[in-house]
Amino acid sequence: DTGVSQDPRHKITKRGQNVTFRCDPISEHNRLYWYRQTLGQGPEFLTYFQNEAQLEKSRLLSDRFSAERPKGSFSTLEIQRTEQGDSAMYLCASSYGVAGVGETQYFGPGTRLLVL
């Protein structure tokens, strides 16, 4: 399967713990996106990378959230000091993007986080 993969698929943690999620994009894709989705809503954009550069991070929900893509391939999303309100589905998407041209984002299966 050459689609976007995410690990883990599910994570249960206690409030105050740190969690890290991984995303492996489609191999030839240069752009990688993180979204959060809460129940009954569409995905909400958090941040994106073009290759290893994080080009947009102002939409990250707080300074407890951070993302990396050190080698321009896989990415990690870390949430520090988790709170119950962080419980959601975290989705990763990737695309091949060229400036000024429409692109299509393909999503992974998501990581469902439950903070107790």
Partner 1 sequence: GQQLNQSPQSMFIQEGEDVSMNCTSSSIFNTWLWYKQEPGEGPVLLIALYKAGELTSNGRLTAQFGITRKDSFLNISASIPSDVGIYFCAGLRYNNNDMRFGAGTRLTVKP
- Chain positions contacting partner 1, by CB under 8 A: 4, 6, 31, 33, 40-45, 48, 55-56, 59, 91, 93, 97, 99-110, 112
- Rounded to whole angstroms, the Cα distance separating 36 from 43 reads 5
The strand ranges marked E within the chain are 5-7, 10-13, 19-24, 31-37, 44-50, 53-56, 65-68, 75-79, 88-95, 106-107, 111-115
Provide, rounded to whole angstroms, the least separation between the CB of residue 19 and partner 1.
18
| Nearer residue to partner 1 within complex by CB, 57 or 64 | 57
| Nearer residue to partner 1 within complex by CB, 8 or 15 | 8
Provide, rounded to whole angstroms, the least separation between the CB of residue 79 and partner 1.
19
| Nearer residue to partner 1 within complex by CB, 17 or 41 | 41
Looking at the DSSP bridge assignments, the partners of residue 67 are 77
